[in-house]
Amino acid sequence: MRRLRGRSVMRITVYGATGAFGARLVDLLRSRDHEVIPAHRGNGVDTYTGEGVAEAADGSDALVDCVNRLTTKPRKAIDFFSRSTQSIARAAAEYPGTAVACLSIAFRPEAAESRLLGYYQGKAMQERIYRRLLPEERLLMFRSAQWFELVDTMTIAAGPVRFVPKMRVQALAVAEAVRMMADSIDAGERGTVEVAGPQISDFAAIARLLAARRAQNAGTKPAKVIGIPLPGPTARDGLIPPAPRMSAVTVDEWLRSV
Ligand SMILES: NC(=O)c1ccc[n+]([C@@H]2O[C@H](COP(=O)([O-])OP(=O)(O)OC[C@H]3O[C@@H](n4cnc5c(N)ncnc54)[C@H](OP(=O)(O)O)[C@@H]3O)[C@@H](O)[C@H]2O)c1
């Protein structure tokens, strides 16, 4: 850590630097004068095999974990997040002054127990491993609610029809989650921070608004969005954080940037 223009600036390694979140975080941290080491497979860092992970951490004040593997299969999610998390936590153990910020999801325990949500089992494992391997004073568990942008990832298109899971969410824009995590890192926060959007809504309803906005931009008819009911915790409060820090950006405001 050093001082620049009256501010503390850090050297920060971002694992998952090419991802939807990681690429934005790299840009924002650099714009705040931090020195950023982007880490991903394209530059020889593989968190799953461990290759290059410790080297990328050398000399950094903070390591940010925003790697991802998209899967609905619990076994694949647990395997990926277990191995990746252990690689990064082991690298942190080699450099005792280094803090770790893990990007996780603000789900309640029952969501990780649902058979329909296998991915969350991997994220729950990731959180457990970090908490086991790193002392509290070196760990920031940054748990974000779903992003508006996740609608596209979770949409199945069939001709003019879009199938989207019906889930109760308190979604926010990814850019807002990035800003709030950068603020947390800048402030040197540790422990658990949860962030969410300003409104609780249905994921399929957000998908309908997005389809309408895109149709308006293109001067076409909106795609028909069909919400697929998911039984269990996502229909209740399984994805709603109890007392999150809230972004002020509503879905309508976000849609203006689409
Ligand atoms: N989507 C949401 O609504 C949401 C909400 C809250 C939290 N999150 C969390 O946010 C995190 C990031 O999600 P995202 O959507 O930004 O992910 P993404 O766009 O899928 O990007 C994944 C990143 O991980 C890297 N990666 C994958 N496998 C790797 C490996 N073996 N070694 C090194 N790097 C690897 C990828 O880099 P290369 O492929 O270039 O190696 C890429 O930079 C996830 O952990 C997710 O759980 C998501």
Q: Which residues partner with 226 through β-bridges?
A: 163
Residue 251 in contact with ligand 1 by CB distance below 6 A? no
Residue 19 in contact with ligand 1 by CB distance below 6 A? yes
Q: Of the ranges 109-113, 168-172, 200-204, which one carries the lowest mean pLDDT score?
A: 109-113
**At 230, is the pLDDT very low, low, confident or very high (cuts 50, 70, 90)?**
confident
Determine if the pTM surpasses 0.75.
Answer: yes
Residue 4 confidence (pLDDT) above 80: no
Residue closest via CA to ligand 1's atom 34 equals: 40
Residue 6 confidence (pLDDT) above 80: no
Centre a 10 Å sphere on the Cβ of residue 198 and count the other Cβ atoms it contains.
15
Residue 114 confidence (pLDDT) above 90: no
Residue 17 in contact with ligand 1 by CB distance below 6 A? yes
Residue 160 in contact with ligand 1 by CB distance below 6 A? no
Give the nearest ligand 1 atom to 45 CA: 33
What tokens does 178 get? 């990035």
Residue 100 in contact with ligand 1 by CB distance below 6 A? no
Residue 113 confidence (pLDDT) above 90: no
User: What pLDDT is recorded for position 7?
Assistant: 73
Q: In CATH, what number does 2-255 get?
A: 3.40.50.720
User: What pLDDT is recorded for position 2?
Assistant: 76
User: What pLDDT is recorded for position 240?
Assistant: 97
Q: How far, in Å, CA of 158 to CA of 139, rounded?
A: 43
Give the nearest ligand 1 atom to 147 CA: 3
Ligand 1 center–CA 20 separation, angstroms: 7
- Give residue-wise pLDDT tens across range 18-56: 999 999 999 999 999 999 999 999 999 999 999 999 999
Ligand 1 center–CA 128 separation, angstroms: 18
Which residue carries 């029809």 as its tokens?
Answer: 161
- Mean predicted confidence (pLDDT) in 102-112: 94
Residue 205 confidence (pLDDT) above 90: yes
Residue 40 in contact with ligand 1 by CB distance below 6 A? yes
Residue 45 in contact with ligand 1 by CB distance below 6 A? yes
Q: Any idea where the domains of the chain sit in the sequence? A: 2-255
- Give residue-wise pLDDT tens across range 139-192: 999 999 999 999 999 999 999 899 999 999 999 999 999 999 999 999 999 999
User: What pLDDT is recorded for position 151?
Assistant: 96
Q: How far, in Å, CA of 35 to CA of 12, rounded?
A: 6
